[in-house]
Amino acid sequence: MDMQALGGSMVAIVTPMHADGSVDWESLERLINWHIEQGTHGIVSVGTTGESATLGFREHDEVIERTVEIVDKRIPVIAGTGGNATDEAIRLTRHAKRVGADASLLVCPYYNKPSQEGLYRHFHAIAMAVDIPQILYNVPSRTGVDMLPETVARLSAIDNIVALKEAKGSIERIHELIEYVGDDMHIYSGDDGTAMESMLVGGKGNISVVANVVPNLMSRMCTAAIAGQREEAERLDAEMAPLHSALFFEANPIPVKWALQEMGWIEPGIRLPLTPLAEHFQDSVRDALKQVVGEY
């Protein structure tokens, strides 16, 4: 696909669930249509925020398939298809391609902590197996492994590896990555708190948790930052600042699902081992919502 169409504000959308933990398809459709109306540039389906770790294979496939159908080519759909087993990631990625996803998002294998050579071979194998644009995802705080810029640079030479979501939260790392990969790969932020600066120094977008709650604000901020309009980007980012901290008081997606429930978008469904937002955090998240969203 045209890489110009892949960037900006890409929401790592929650997977709405009923109180019993079953997927709430009606709320998923409402959320997707709201995002498109509000100017979100892309939907990332079944990422960490979409509770990929607790969805079964069939559910994982169906959420991606339904998302593609609902979006109906209005904006790009990026399917979360990573796994800590290479064969599993290939299977999920093949399905995403088959049902019409525009790209896949592939997290570094988690828990088993591969070497840099292991990371290279893992992503190389998926790229060779499935001809779909692929976005790598580095999030050391959750996977236990940090994919280094040298490894990213090696992978950037593969035609269908087109971008990296970098969630280390370091502007220095963003600078280093852009220097290493040049025009061979887009760099996206995966950390809302540093996303604006990442785009101002050359990043091409933000795969965002905060966009779940304020899609229009995030879309406008990303557009301004990518265009180099620092003053406007800083103004919009400052409006969202309370959410950059409040939505991470507990592990994502616990706070953002509670916030969307509070706003009336979804039911209070989340799957174990995740639990609803602790009561002692609720007033703080509610206050942040009131500061940024106003009445809802």
Residues of each annotated binding site for pyruvate: 49, 207
Judge contact between 98 and 92, C-beta under 8 A: no
Task: Give me the active site residues, please.
Answer: 137, 165
| CA distance linking residue 36 with residue 77, whole number of Å | 11
Query: 160: which 2 tokens?
Result: 């269908």
